[in-house]
């Protein structure tokens, strides 16, 4: 004989109830069944709502009652066809009239006692079980209704009654020995006290009813039908990669259920535990899905010692502490006895080995009550300053990893806490039982989703790491970066096990976010129709999403954006910057960003600041890390200036070459940013700092080749006019180099703690001489490379290579 329990949305509508009838009919062909049903259509909650309306003198309670009546009549007509509904409707209408009289009474006396509450709520299960039993008979199935109030006996503690297990067991056993029906339908949740009064079994009562019956009749299986296909490795609503659990042990199921897995209510497992009766969690909407089997065999077909991850929200952490507790017995006893007397459930306990403090987690709604009674019971010790008044921390949650096999694997807790730490999830308290079946941590409620995703990725998705990008500045370079990510996403996921998602994008006008990842096929349209952009709004949205492995990517030249870096780093959000302003800002700010990066374990990378896609900074860092020392750096660091002087000769005008460079995207909108040498100065400054030297921009000697007229021109157009006016000045520079068989290059140098930039005449044979197009070159003279320098050479400007440099920084973080 099998016991089947149907509840929740599995009995929420006519369609789902027809599925229920079909499932019962199919199984009844092979086994005798006991079918336990909850109230249909969420009636339990609606009955409480209409009762609240009645006692609050809201006359609209009668309208809600009519809606409840209509719902039941619709279900009857949906399940029983061919005009055979009159007898069923007559019985249900009579019961609903009794319900109406009860509600009218509540309206008059303005009070709802626990005893009346039980009587009120019993209508839901009694009506549902009657309708379903009649529907089964209508489908020519051998079914009979049995009232659970005639089987399950409890005490008189209304709304949370305790079952008299011995009497209940005998009643169930006796009844089913005499019963010959193929299907017995029993209402869940409801019972009757020894005083013959209506009682209910509290939360999960229908599951408990089914488990009590299964244990008493030695059922071959207890099936719990819900709206999900079994238990999952974590909450699939918060973690989209959550996996179904095929098999789980009783103990693991209890742990996961206690810590928030709502598919199962913990007391459900207890009655069948000693009988070794398997429990099967199935989906009414997908009956062919395998579901989850709960048995003594904990095998799940995978090698992970962690079976699942769960959480409880709305937790308050209370701390009793004081020097007067050390070495004095009895504090714990008094504390926990006091809470037990107030019926306050303790969810988590942890105590320091010094005995200086006891920390425990309870439901947030009971925190004030708990503080009041604890402070009262210890008022003498508090007055004598032996202990402090109880401390309350609210807005917390508990996350827990569960698995029978965790005890035989080393380092499980280390992996859990390391993963959380890398994502800046602060842990307020930790608890672990000696069985090592459960490791729990208290965190802030706002971090629950990120924590679940982080731990799930660590234990169940080890092969793939999800990285979430927030990009500001999607112009020329930004667009190329998105194209490269779209092109390489599949390759990166397959070869590097990194799943890159673009979650937020912004330009100077609008911004757009998608928690599930922005489609790169139509991101331009999404951004165009996005919300109004603001730097503070972008940061606020990134913080509110609170996603693991988040990276902020700055592809602007904005000082305001650069000023936001510290805010991101403090939130454990990595920063990848194409923008050179932060890296070349005042040394105090640069050093602070580096400090924040280390403190919050949030990488701050800016490879593209110096050589676009060239690995200049990365190479320099490897040299320093390996113990080498930088003596001299010589470099041509401006692809823009190199383009200009490679194309400038006696047959071209300097004005025309500069204009060409601007038109082809090699210079900033104001070419003086490039031609003045300030951009090169910033680059050599960054290299000097990365070499370990404290230096500011004003310490760099800059020899400008532009005329004073060009530098002081009030506009870009006026600047171009000065180039025409002073063409002879630039021609003289070219002729001087030509006569010496030299090439003009704008060179940056760092040596002996000093740096300078300026236009130089490079002789033939020098590594800089044949530098073509927009190429850059960097030469590192170090203790290991004293004569023949390490040389890095390649394209140092252009949207494609700059985007590839940003992509490389993103992958460096992802692979860390």
* Exposed/middle/buried for residue 188 (C-beta within 10 Å: 0-12, 13-18, 19+): buried
Write down how long the chain is: 816
Is there a catalytic annotation at residue 683? yes
Query: What is the bridge-based pairing of β-strands 346-351 and 357-363?
Result: antiparallel
186: β partners: 36
Backbone angles phi, psi at 59, to 5 degrees: -65, -15
3-state secondary structure 694-715: CCCHHHCEEECCCCHHHHHCCC
pLDDT of residue 491: 95
pLDDT of residue 112: 92
pLDDT of residue 392: 94
Which H helix or E strand runs over 418? helix 412-422
Tell me the H-state helices in 6-113: 14-28, 43-55, 61-79, 86-109
Rounded to the nearest angstrom, the gap between the alpha carbon of residue 783 and the centroid of all alpha carbons in its chain is 47
pLDDT of residue 265: 72
760: β partners: 745
From the candidates 465, 683, 745, 774, give the one annotated as an active-site residue: 683
pLDDT of residue 401: 93
pLDDT of residue 368: 95
| Regions of the chain with pLDDT less than 50 | none
In the block, residue with structure tokens 């802030």:
444
Per-residue pLDDT tens over the stretch 329-371: 778 888 999 999 998 999 989 887 666 789 999 999 999 999 9
Q: Closest Cα to residue 608, out of 574, 571, 566, 639? A: 639
In angstroms, the Cα distances linking 288 to 19, 27, 228, 279 are 12, 13, 12, 16
Task: Please tell me the distance from the alpha carbon of residue 72 to that of residue 92, in angstroms, as a whole number.
Answer: 8
pLDDT of residue 357: 84
Name the pTM for this structure: 0.73
pLDDT of residue 434: 61
Q: What is the DSSP string of 730-755?
A: HHHHHHHHHHTTEEEEEEEEEETTEE
- 8 A C-beta contact, residue 282 and residue 224: yes
Q: Closest Cα to residue 306, out of 204, 419, 210, 187? A: 419
Backbone angles phi, psi at 340, to 5 degrees: -65, -40
Rounded to the nearest angstrom, the gap between the alpha carbon of residue 634 and the centroid of all alpha carbons in its chain is 46
Listing from the earlier edge strand, what are the strands of the sheet with 357-363? Answer: 346-351, 357-363, 308-321, 391-402, 438-444, 427-432
- 8 A C-beta contact, residue 680 and residue 748: yes
In the block, residue with structure tokens 């194209």:
483
Strand boundaries in 578-703, DSSP class E: 604-605, 630-636, 701-703
In angstroms, the Cα distances linking 798 to 582, 603, 610, 809 are 21, 25, 13, 17
pLDDT of residue 253: 85
Task: Please tell me the distance from the alpha carbon of residue 2 to that of residue 811, in angstroms, as a whole number.
Answer: 54
Please give the structure tokens belonging to residue 345: 């459930």
202: left (phi > 0), else alpha (psi -120 to 50), else beta? left
794: left (phi > 0), else alpha (psi -120 to 50), else beta? left
- 8 A C-beta contact, residue 339 and residue 370: yes
Per-residue pLDDT tens over the stretch 409-432: 878 888 899 999 888 899 999 988
Please give the structure tokens belonging to residue 739: 């006569």
- 8 A C-beta contact, residue 16 and residue 285: yes
Backbone angles phi, psi at 518, to 5 degrees: -80, 135
Task: Please tell me the distance from the alpha carbon of residue 160 to that of residue 181, in angstroms, as a whole number.
Answer: 31
- 8 A C-beta contact, residue 185 and residue 25: no
Please give the structure tokens belonging to residue 708: 């004073």
- 8 A C-beta contact, residue 156 and residue 199: yes
Dihedral sign (CA 340, 344, 346, 350): negative
Q: What is the DSSP string of 450-470?
A: HHHHHHHHHHH-TT-EEEEEE
Task: Please tell me the distance from the alpha carbon of residue 602 to that of residue 630, in angstroms, as a whole number.
Answer: 26
């Amino acid at each position: 004989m099998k016991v089947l329990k149907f509840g929740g949305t599995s009995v929420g509508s006519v369609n789902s109830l027809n599925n229920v009838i079909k499932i019962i009919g199919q199984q009844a062909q092979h086994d005798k069944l006991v079918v336990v049903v909850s109230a249909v259509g969420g009636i339990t909650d609606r009955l409480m709502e209409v009762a609240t309306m009645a006692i609050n003198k809201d006359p609209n309670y009668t309208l809600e009652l009519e809606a409840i009546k209509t719902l039941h009549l619709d279900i009857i007509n949906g399940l029983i066809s061919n005009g055979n509904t009159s007898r069923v409707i007559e019985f249900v209408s009579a019961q609903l009239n009794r319900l109406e009289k009860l509600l009218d009474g509540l309206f008059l006396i303005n009070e709802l006692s626990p005893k009346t509450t039980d009587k009120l709520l019993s209508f839901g299960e009694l009506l549902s079980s009657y309708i379903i039993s009649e529907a089964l008979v209508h489908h020519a199935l051998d079914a009979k209704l049995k009232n659970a109030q005639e089987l399950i006996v409890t005490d008189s503690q209304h709304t949370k009654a305790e079952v008299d297990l011995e009497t209940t067991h005998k009643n169930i056993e006796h009844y089913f020995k005499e019963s010959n029906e193929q299907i017995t339908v029993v209402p869940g949740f409801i019972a009757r006290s020894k005083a013959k009064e209506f009682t209910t079994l509290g939360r999960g009562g229908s599951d408990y009813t089914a488990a009590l019956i299964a244990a008493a009749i030695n059922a071959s299986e207890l099936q719990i039908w819900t709206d999900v296909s079994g238990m999952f490795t974590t909450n699939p609503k918060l973690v989209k990669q959550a996996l179904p659990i095929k098999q789980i042990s009783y103990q693991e199921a209890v742990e996961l259920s206690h810590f928030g897995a709502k598919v199962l209510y913990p007391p459900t497992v207890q009655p069948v535990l000693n009988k070794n009766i398997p429990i099967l969690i199935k989906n009414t909407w997908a009956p062919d899905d395998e579901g989850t089997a709960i048995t003594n065999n904990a095998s799940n077909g995978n090698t992970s010692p962690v079976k699942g991850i769960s959480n409880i929200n709305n937790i308050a952490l209370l701390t009793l502490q004081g020097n007067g507790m050390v070495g004095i017995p009895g504090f714990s006893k008094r504390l926990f006895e006091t809470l037990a007397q107030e019926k306050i459930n303790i969810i988590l306990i942890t105590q320091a080995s010094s005995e200086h403090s006891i920390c425990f987690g309870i439901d947030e709604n009971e925190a004030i009550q708990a503080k009041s009674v604890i402070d009262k019971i210890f008022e003498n010790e508090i007055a004598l300053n032996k202990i402090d008044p109880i401390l309350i921390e609210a807005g917390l949650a508990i996350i827990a990893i569960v698995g029978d096999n965790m005890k035989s694997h080393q380092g499980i807790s280390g992996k859990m806490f390391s993963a959380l730490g890398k994502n800046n999830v602060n842990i307020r308290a930790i608890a672990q039982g000696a069985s090592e079946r459960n490791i729990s941590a208290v965190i802030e409620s706002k971090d629950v989703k990120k924590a679940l995703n982080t731990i799930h990725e660590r234990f169940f998705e080890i092969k793939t790491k999800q990285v979430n990008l927030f990009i500001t500045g999607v112009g020329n370079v930004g667009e190329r970066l998105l194209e490269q990510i779209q092109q390489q996403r599949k390759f990166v996921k397959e070869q590097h096990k990194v799943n890159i998602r673009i979650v937020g994008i912004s330009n100077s006008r609008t911004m757009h976010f998608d928690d599930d990842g922005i489609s790169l096929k139509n991101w331009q349209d999404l951004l165009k129709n996005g919300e109004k952009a603001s730097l503070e709004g972008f940061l606020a949205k990134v913080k509110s999403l609170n996603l693991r492995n988040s990276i902020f990517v700055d592809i602007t030249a904005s000082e305001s954006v650069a000023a936001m870096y510290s805010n991101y780093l403090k939130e454990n959000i990595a920063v990848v910057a194409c923008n050179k302003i932060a890296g070349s800002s005042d040394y105090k700010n640069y050093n602070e960003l580096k400090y924040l990066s280390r403190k919050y374990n949030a990488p701050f990378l800016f490879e593209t600041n110096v050589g676009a896609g060239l690995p200049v900074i990365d190479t320099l860092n490897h040299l320093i890390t390996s113990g080498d020392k930088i003596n001299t750096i010589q470099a041509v660091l401006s692809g823009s200036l190199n383009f200009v002087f490679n194309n400038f000769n006696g047959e071209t005008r300097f004005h025309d070459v500069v204009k060409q460079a601007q038109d082809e995207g090699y210079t900033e909108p104001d070419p003086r940013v490039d031609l003045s040498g300030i951009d090169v100065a910033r680059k050599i400054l960054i290299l000097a700092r990365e070499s370990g030297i404290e230096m500011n921009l004003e310490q760099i000697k800059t020899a400008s080749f532009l005329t004073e007229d060009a530098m002081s021109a009030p506009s870009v157009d006026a600047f171009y006019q000065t180039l025409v006016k002073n063409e002879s000045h630039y021609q003289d520079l070219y002729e001087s180099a030509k006569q010496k068989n030299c090439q003009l290059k704008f060179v940056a140098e760092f040596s002996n703690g000093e740096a300078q930039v300026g236009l130089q005449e490079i002789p033939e044979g020098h590594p800089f001489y044949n530098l073509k197009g927009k190429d850059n070159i960097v030469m590192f003279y170090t203790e290991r490379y004293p004569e023949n320098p390490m040389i890095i050479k390649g394209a140092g400007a252009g949207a494609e290579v700059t985007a590839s440099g940003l992509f490389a920084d993103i992958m460096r973080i992802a692979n860390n």
